[in-house]
Amino acid sequence: MRYLPLSDEDRGEMLARVGVANIDDLFADVPKDKLLKAPPDLPRRKGELEVERILARMAARNVAASSVPFFVGAGAYKHHIPASVDHLIQRSEFLTSYTPYQPEISQGTLQYLFEFQTQVANLAAMEVANASMYDGSTGTAEAVLMAHRVTKRRKAVLSGGLHPQYAEVVRTLSRMAGDEVVSLPPDVTAAEDLLAAIDDTVSCVVVQTPDVFGNLRDLRAVAEKAHRHGALLVAVFTEAVSLGLVTPPGDMGADIVVGEGQSIGVPLSFGGPYVGLFATRQKYLRQMPGRLCGETVDAEGRRGFVLTLSTREQHIRRDKATSNICTNSGLCCLAFTIHMTLLGEAGLKRLARINHANAVKLAGMLGEVRGVEVLNDTFFNEFTIRLPRPAAEVVEALARRGVLGGVPASRLLPSAGLDDLLVVASTEVNTDEDRTAFAAALKGALA
């Protein structure tokens, strides 16, 4: 297929047919502060070889996650992935498979999706889970829309500990739908009064645990008051490994549990693709977005699998659909399921304990560096420290010393006045030598 560039006349004819004056009008719904004020500082045209060289030089400015001690988290975590996971997902029957519309030829795909759902429901301590969402952020927004459908209300309350990017996705979808969102201020120490924000107008309260600053939260009181006012509790997580150790949201009264499954089986991959996990109570099954794979028997009584519920707009009338998500993250689901199967319940618990122990060791070492304060009383494998200098500057200094030391809170919340806070994660991949190198580099960066 040849690429045939459009002429000015072609563009003018297309814009006239659409009914807009210029190309910028096509982006009218995008907030002005999200639009570039000028084209990127790149050459307008180059040959293929020159493009490769330019991009290679740009990429070389990055410090690769696998090349130095790595303590970055804030929603995407570096974990060890067994080689068997990558080997299996690259088998052609999985790598090239598509939506299992025909169960008679899609039993393998349907079975692993069924197993995936079972694993997610068990992790979250919920009764039913779907066959995945795009990622944790879009899953959270879908959970809010689902709560609106269930309660017939259009107001969501977002905790100040919710990942800012997740909150932004919720606000984007809500703005387009005309729904109300109440976002509480950033809550570094989990001291916010969520209960005061719940009344009879609220459809759902969205709370993350461990939250974006690493704090573990007990959701029971929030769930109790939400239910007393006819609202739902949406519990969010970004670190799936935490569910091997902490109390699962379903046991704390959550009505919808949603989060990111990247930590199990899915590499960092420069930010995606990832896999959203979504679970809920049986009574809300028909309002759940996405798809549900179910177990059945064929005409001869043999075990089989089918798409039991498909309420996407591709399958039913748009006004009856519960989701406009176009697909599930099938290959990432499979990676998640393979890794979970290899771990088993005992393995996941052991992995979670190692993560927590590593983070405790690191917090102790960093807390001994002059001028550094660890802010969390309780945490899983991620915590926040206060620095005597802007965290963004310290992170750059750490990188020059060969350590990727975390995510500045100012990167997630640029206008919140949290410039001196650094969110740090430590997983099973970090060694004692890594932690020692981090503490030494931080001491040097602050000297």
Residue pLDDT, tens place only, 18-69: 999 998 899 988 888 888 889 898 888 899 999 999 999 999 998 888 899 9
Residues 336 and 373 reside in one and the same domain: no
- Rounded to 5 degrees, φ, ψ at 359 are -70, -40
State which of 316, 340, 364 marks the end of a domain: 340
Asked whether residue 66 is assigned to any structural domain, the reply reads no
Residues 363 and 442 reside in one and the same domain: yes
pLDDT computed for residue 392 by the predictor? 98
Please, what are the averages of pLDDT over each run of 10 residues along the chain (447 residues)? 76 93 90 88 90 94 91 97 96 84 88 96 98 94 96 98 98 94 97 97 98 98 98 98 98 98 96 95 94 92 90 64 72 97 97 98 98 97 98 97 97 96 98 98 97
pLDDT computed for residue 314 by the predictor? 58
State which of 279, 312, 340 marks the end of a domain: 340
Domain holding 397, by residue range, is 345-446
State which of 340, 364, 394 marks the end of a domain: 340
* Paired strand residues for 181: 156
Residues 205 and 290 reside in one and the same domain: yes
List the CATH number of the domain containing 433.
Answer: 3.90.1150.10
Residues 215 and 349 reside in one and the same domain: no
Residues 202 and 277 reside in one and the same domain: yes
Instruction: Please give the structure tokens belonging to residue 230.
Output: 């006819």
The count of domains in the chain is: 2
Residues 122 and 234 reside in one and the same domain: yes
Measured from the Cβ of residue 124, the count of other Cβ atoms closer than 10 Å reads: 27
List the CATH number of the domain containing 227.
Answer: 3.40.640.10
Between vectors from CA 78 to CA 72 and to CA 81, what angle results, nearest 5°? 175
Inter-CA distances, 381 with 73, 147, 268, 397, Å = 9, 30, 17, 23
Asked whether residue 201 is assigned to any structural domain, the reply reads yes
Residues 366 and 300 reside in one and the same domain: no
pLDDT computed for residue 328 by the predictor? 63
- Rounded to 5 degrees, φ, ψ at 279 are -140, 155
pLDDT computed for residue 105 by the predictor? 86
Residues 388 and 288 reside in one and the same domain: no
Asked whether residue 256 is assigned to any structural domain, the reply reads yes
Asked whether residue 50 is assigned to any structural domain, the reply reads no
